[in-house]
């Protein structure tokens, strides 16, 4: 997370530097994007010069230097993004971990220096001219800018170190053992022949012991992150880190109080789902879905079908494949690659990039179609300005999640006899996103409301929150620690819930009017995420808001009914086989 963005996230602005028209975009192959650490010394010389110009009236010199500084900032941003991608390829490689952390610090400091210089200009004779050039919204935000203090810099650097340590710890099995029955158990042993010989009670004992061992490693990191972020929230003038994150990090046009109302509405729905479908045998039948596709095949299948959603989606797919703008490591072959997936834009080359780890099952196509939704949005509606643009993650997740749901229409062709299993998994995951998004957000808000909790308190709290949603996990539970967002991007997870509520509506529309559903999806996609917030965009696209009375039940009921049908069909076919 960039410090500058956290100070100017209220912006939703379009500056004059959005880059060339897409039709003229020329791709640069990823293999030719050589990583070079960014040397900020010339940048600081330029910001000093801009500060000097603030006292004069040479408007053209100010604008020219602003443009040059922005170009340099893009290079610093690119260095960080490339280091991040290399780090994801092997989170145990200390070189790339160090490079990523160093590049992030440089980016923090560069953005701070740039904003201070712009602030100085806005106070001087050229202030009105610079404001007119960059836009009044940007000028207003910069006019309120406060330089980063040494303490802020120290806290942000520590936050980055702790999140990197989380990645490294999760990729390592060092110290992950549990003694039981006179034997020291590891995760590999539990999942191997030794574990198969255990009765259920013994298996649960070893499994829980290994989770506790991981908790002993990760818990202290989390508790320190909560303290670090709470202090930052206080420095930045917010009563809670949740309120800060909602307003400034995620650009939400709804509040934590609105989110709690959503959580309360979801709890009744969750109780039904958790009793009837959460433990369905269908979830464990991924091995019956074929073909299992490698990365190259997945990319081709994606290309074969995105054009059938809409021909316009072929353009970003071609740009991505022609330039190799993706990395799809298979975790069984590259176990030190980062788990999960994300999409970033390499600013210098105006190129979105997909990182998506593969598991060797039907989740792989689901995950890739999800990330391609992000990719298409970044291609068609890129950030207007790398320094100041702030987007709505609640909208960004609709671009991805809704494309996942539309892709299920082709599963009969892709998976044949396994289509209903794959559909159940993808569509069931939409309901899971609504429920889990609320669980994780409510859990995180309660922790940050009481930042002096002990680790035992945190483990007990998570189990308590889950019980409110119909999941009885016992008096304590450690599974919260495997949600990377809780460490890396707290309060993001709610975006999965609210975006899924929009995606479910688009899926439901597709059952009776495919063209209308695609039009609704493209409408949301091309609106992007930088001008209007989630509530405003959904209203403009004719989709229901979760704040409306009865909306959650009305939106989710058709999908729940479809899941019951799919479960019956799959289990009947299994019994008849």
Q: Which pLDDT band holds residue 322 (cuts at 50, 70, 90)?
A: very high
State the angle between helix axes of 393-407 and 514-527 in degrees (0 to 180), rounded to the nearest 10.
150
pLDDT digits (tens, 9 = 90+) for 80-98: 999 999 999 999 999 999 9
Count CB atoms within 10 A of the CB of residue 7.
21
Burial 505-539 (b: 16+ CB within 10 A, else e): bbbbbbeeeeeebbebbbebbebbbbbbbbbebbe
Burial 68-79 (b: 16+ CB within 10 A, else e): ebbebbbbbbbb
Q: Can you give the length of the chain in residues?
A: 577
Cβ contact 9:252 at 8 Å? no
CA–CA separation, 38 vs 74, rounded Å? Answer: 10
pLDDT at 18 over 70: no
pLDDT value of residue 248: 86
pLDDT value of residue 25: 65
Burial 147-162 (b: 16+ CB within 10 A, else e): ebeeebeebbbebbeb
Average predicted confidence (pLDDT) for the chain: 92
Side-chain half-sphere exposure of 399, counting CA atoms within 13 A? 27
CA–CA separation, 169 vs 161, rounded Å? Answer: 12
Determine the 3-state secondary structure of 38 from DSSP: coil
Helix H segments across 236-294? 241-244, 256-276
* Phi–psi pair at 330, nearest 5 degrees: -90, 120
pLDDT digits (tens, 9 = 90+) for 373-419: 999 999 999 988 777 777 899 999 999 999 999 999 999 999 999 99
Q: What's the token pair of residue 419?
A: 């289509």
Side-chain half-sphere exposure of 309, counting CA atoms within 13 A? 35
Q: Are strands 177-180 and 183-186 parallel, antiparallel or unpaired?
A: antiparallel
Q: Which of 26-40, 140-154, 178-192, 541-555 has the lowest mean pLDDT?
A: 140-154
Q: What's the token pair of residue 319?
A: 């740009």
CA–CA separation, 96 vs 388, rounded Å? Answer: 27
CATH number of the 262-292+390-576 domain = 1.10.1370.30
Q: What's the token pair of residue 435?
A: 């429920």
> Edge to edge, what strands does the sheet with 351-356 contain?
326-327, 351-356, 341-346
Would you say the C-alpha torsion 148, 151, 152, 158 has a positive or negative sign?
positive
pLDDT digits (tens, 9 = 90+) for 32-64: 999 999 999 999 999 999 999 999 999 999 999
Instruction: Write the DSSP symbol of residue 358.
Output: B
Q: What's the token pair of residue 463?
A: 């189990």
pLDDT value of residue 390: 73
pLDDT value of residue 456: 98
What does the domain layout of the chain look like in residue ranges?
3-148, 262-292+390-576
pLDDT at 23 over 70: no
pLDDT value of residue 397: 94
Between the CA of residue 500 and those of 19, 104, 401, 404, 497, what are the distances in Å?
A: 31, 31, 6, 10, 5
The residue among 429, 436, 386 whose CA lies nearest residue 408 is 429
Q: What's the token pair of residue 146?
A: 């406060």
pLDDT at 284 over 50: yes
Q: Which pLDDT band holds residue 6 (cuts at 50, 70, 90)?
A: very low
**In the beta sheet, which residues pair with residue 342?**
355
State the angle between helix axes of 419-449 and 363-380 in degrees (0 to 180), rounded to the nearest 10.
70
CA–CA separation, 401 vs 430, rounded Å? Answer: 8
pLDDT value of residue 396: 95
As to burial, measured by CB atoms within 10 angstroms (0-12 exposed, 13-18 middle, 19+ buried), residue 311 is: exposed
Q: What's the token pair of residue 434?
A: 């609504």
Between the CA of residue 295 and those of 358, 363, 365, 367, 422, what are the distances in Å?
A: 8, 13, 9, 12, 18
């Amino acid at each position: 997370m960039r410090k500058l963005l956290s100070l100017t996230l209220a912006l939703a602005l379009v500056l004059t530097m959005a880059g060339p028209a897409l039709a003229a975009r020329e791709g640069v192959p990823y293999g030719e994007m050589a990583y070079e650490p960014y040397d900020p010394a010339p940048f600081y010389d330029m910001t000093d010069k801009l500060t000097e110009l603030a006292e004069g009236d040479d408007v053209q010199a100010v604008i020219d230097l602003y443009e040059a500084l922005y170009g340099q900032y893009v290079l610093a941003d690119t260095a960080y993004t490339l280091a991040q991608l290399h780090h994801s390829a092997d989170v145990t490689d200390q070189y790339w971990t160090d490079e990523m952390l160093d590049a992030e610090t440089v980016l923090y400091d560069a953005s701070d220096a740039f904003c201070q210089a712009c602030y100085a200009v806005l106070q001087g004779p050229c202030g009105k001219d610079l404001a007119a050039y960059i836009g009044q919204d940007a000028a207003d935000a910069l006019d309120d800018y406060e330089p980063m203090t040494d303490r802020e810099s120290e806290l942000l650097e520590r936050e980055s170190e702790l999140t990197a340590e989380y990645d490294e710890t999760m990729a390592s099995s060092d110290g992950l053992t549990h003694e039981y029955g006179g034997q020291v158990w590891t995760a590999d042993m539990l999942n191997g022949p030794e574990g198969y010989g255990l009765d259920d009670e013994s298996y649960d004992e070893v499994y829980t012991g290994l989770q506790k061992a991981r908790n002993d490693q990760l818990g202290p990191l989390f508790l320190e992150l909560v303290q670090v972020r709470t202090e930052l929230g206080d420095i930045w003038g917010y009563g809670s880190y949740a309120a800060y994150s909602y307003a400034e990090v995620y650009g939400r046009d709804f509040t934590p109080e609105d989110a709690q109302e959503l959580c309360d509405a979801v709890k009744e729905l969750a109780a039904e789902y958790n009793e009837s479908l959460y433990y369905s045998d269908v979830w464990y039948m991924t091995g019956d879905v074929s073909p299992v596709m490698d990365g190259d095949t997945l990319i081709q299948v994606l290309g074969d079908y995105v054009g059938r959603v809409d021909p316009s989606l072929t353009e970003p797919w071609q740009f991505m494949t022609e330039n190799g703008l993706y990395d799809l490591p298979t975790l069984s072959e590259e176990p030190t690659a980062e788990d999960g997936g994300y999409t970033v834009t390499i600013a210098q080359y105006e190129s979105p990039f997909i990182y998506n780890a593969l598991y060797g099952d039907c989740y792989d196509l689901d995950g890739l179609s999800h990330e391609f939704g992000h990719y298409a949005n970044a291609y068609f509606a890129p950030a207007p300005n790398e320094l100041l643009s702030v987007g709505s993650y609640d909208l960004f997740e609709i671009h991805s999640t809704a494309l996942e749901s539309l892709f299920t229409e082709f599963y009969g062709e892709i998976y044949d006899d396994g289509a209903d299993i794959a559909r159940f998994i993808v569509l069931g995951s939409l309901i899971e996103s609504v429920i889990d998004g609320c669980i994780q957000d409510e859990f995180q808000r309660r922790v940050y409301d009481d930042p002096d909790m002990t680790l035992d308190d945190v483990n007990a709290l998570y189990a308590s929150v889950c019980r409110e949603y119909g999941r009885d996990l016992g008096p304590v539970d450690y599974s919260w620690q495997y949600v990377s967002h809780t460490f890396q991007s707290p309060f993001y997870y709610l975006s999965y819930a609210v975006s899924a509520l929009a995606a479910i509506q688009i899926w439901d529309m597709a059952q009776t009017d495919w063209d209308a559903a695609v039009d609704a999806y493209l409408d949301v996609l091309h609106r992007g995420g930088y001008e209007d917030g989630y509530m405003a965009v959904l209203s403009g696209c004719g989709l229901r808001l979760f704040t409306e009375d009865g909306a959650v039940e009305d939106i989710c009921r058709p999908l729940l009914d479809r899941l019951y049908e799919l479960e019956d069909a799959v289990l009947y076919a299994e019994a008849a086989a």
